[in-house]
């Protein structure tokens, strides 16, 4: 169960840190493949899962069928553009208090929430529709 160093895991983590667009596993694979042409998709998945379990990265279930990964583990929210599919970070004040609102009259413990916002991003909304 002790963790051993692996250059592949290192490269995956490093790649994720360079990106703020929350790539999917296959995007990670495509990019890390340039540095390690023999790396396998299985290894990418294994390490993404490992890193997420260790809390070094965050795994996002956005409901689009693929998981997205984010090297930024600080508390923040995401926005998904319904036109281009882009996933972007939001800088917004904390909405932690919605946990309390959810707890009112609820017979159980609210530990947290998952929230993401959707709509049309700035770039897409200034585009002429084709």
Partner DNA sequence: TTCCTTGCAAATCGTTTGCATAATG
Partner DNA sequence: CATTATGCAAACGATTTGCAAGGAA
| Residues found near DNA in the complex (CB under 7 A) | 1-9, 24-26, 36, 38-43, 45-47, 49-50, 65-67
Q: Check: CB of residue 77 under 8 Å from CB of residue 116.
A: yes
C-alpha closest to that of 118 among 86, 76, 80 = 80
> Could you give the CA distance from residue 54 to residue 86 in angstroms, rounded to a whole number?
26
- Report the residue number, 48 or 121, with the smaller CB distance to DNA: 48
- Report the residue number, 15 or 23, with the smaller CB distance to a second copy: 23
Kindly state the helix (H) or strand (E) to which residue 90 belongs, with its residue range.
strand 87-90
Work out what residue 40 binds among a second copy, DNA, none; the CB cut-off runs from 5 to 8 Å by kind.
DNA
- Report the residue number, 37 or 108, with the smaller CB distance to a second copy: 108
The answer to whether 110 contacts a second copy (rule: CB under 8 A) is yes
Residue from 40, 73, 99, 127 touching a second copy (CB under 8 A): that is 99
> Could you give the CA distance from residue 89 to residue 22 in angstroms, rounded to a whole number?
9
Work out what residue 102 binds among a second copy, DNA, none; the CB cut-off runs from 5 to 8 Å by kind.
a second copy
Q: Check: CB of residue 98 under 8 Å from CB of residue 90.
A: no
The answer to whether 45 contacts a second copy (rule: CB under 8 A) is no
């Amino acid at each position: 169960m002790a963790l051993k160093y692996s250059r592949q895991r290192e490269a995956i983590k490093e790649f994720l840190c360079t990106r703020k667009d929350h790539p999917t596993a296959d995007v990670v694979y495509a990019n890390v493949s340039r540095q390690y042409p023999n790396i396998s998709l299985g290894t990418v998945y294994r390490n993404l899962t490992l890193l997420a379990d260790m809390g070094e990265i965050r795994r996002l279930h956005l409901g689009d069928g693929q998981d997205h990964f984010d090297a930024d583990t600080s508390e923040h929210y995401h926005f998904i553009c319904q036109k281009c599919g882009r996933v972007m970070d939001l800088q917004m004040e904390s909405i932690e208090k919605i946990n309390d609102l959810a707890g009112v009259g609820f017979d159980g413990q609210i530990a947290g929430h998952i929230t993401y916002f959707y709509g049309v991003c700035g770039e897409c909304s200034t585009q002429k529709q084709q």
